Amino acid sequence: MSFFKPQRVMFFFVTALALLFLSANSVLCKLAFFNQGIDPFSFSAIRLISGAITLLLCVSLFSKTSFSWHNYAIKKTQFISSGLLFLYAIAFSYSYVLIDTGVGALILFGTVQIAMIAYALLTKQNVGVFKIIGGGIALFGLGYLLLPTSSSSVSLKGALLMALAGLAWAFYSIIGKNTQHPLLSTSYNFSYSVLFVVLFALISFPQIHLSAQSFLYAIISGSLTSGIGYVLWYMVVTKIETSTASIIQLIVPVLATVGGVVLLDEALTWHIVIASTIILSGIALLALQKEKR
């Protein structure tokens, strides 16, 4: 059977692993913040620095193209990506101090997919009624998610920070779609993002505190689920259309929500279930036209 060709099975495995790693980032971040185990800046800094170190090691071991700080052409093209990576990481961390895992993942990936589809519309990729309707439904779902209920309410500040993280990640993904060397490109992004970490530290003078366990969660998030995870995702998005990437990422908020409920004892209310259904249905409809073409 053609489905079980080695190349197809490997692509499926890489895609599944990338999605698992992407969803694990939300859970690891909330686990690290449990009982104020770490501050948001320290988590972001450890995540980016450990990711950079891991990727430099991977480049030296597996890449045919060597890493060079003096490669100006790559430095110039990667600088924007590294800034977007830092913006995503820092907004992501500060947001999760204020909102639950599942809510954060919904806002993050809802924003990411809407932004990516908006980009596809602006660049004339499969413009059609399904995308317009789907985008409207997803936006409505995000608005519904933010509505306060009798039992709970979502922090507006936390939601806006996560939306900012989503915008940064969307443009990071769009730029990364054109890369020919995912491992090397991601290594540059993480390495240059450390410059932004240093600058932010000098400006903000954060109050640093962390426990050993939270430090370990940040290391795992940086080296494995971010560093290696983003390389795997780069490998996926360079081989598929933007609309297809939107569809398969639907699983990430679901996995993050399950992780929050199981590992962090977060409440799964009907309000979140309904909002999730609306948002994910809208995103699915965004890509439906591509599948019918």
Q: Consecutive 10-residue runs of the chain (293 residues): their mean pLDDT?
A: 62 84 92 90 95 90 62 66 95 94 88 80 69 76 78 85 94 79 84 92 78 94 90 76 66 85 84 83 67 43
Residue 100 DSSP class: -
HSE-up of residue 159 (Cα within 13 Å, Cβ side): 15
Question: Containing domain of residue 42, as a range?
Answer: 2-292
pLDDT at residue number 64: 64
Please count the structural domains in the chain.
Answer: 1
pLDDT at residue number 292: 44
Q: How far apart are the first and last CA of the chain?
A: 25
pLDDT at residue number 127: 54
Smallest CA-to-CA distance from 23 within 95, 96, 94, 102 is with 102
Which residue type is seen at 21? F
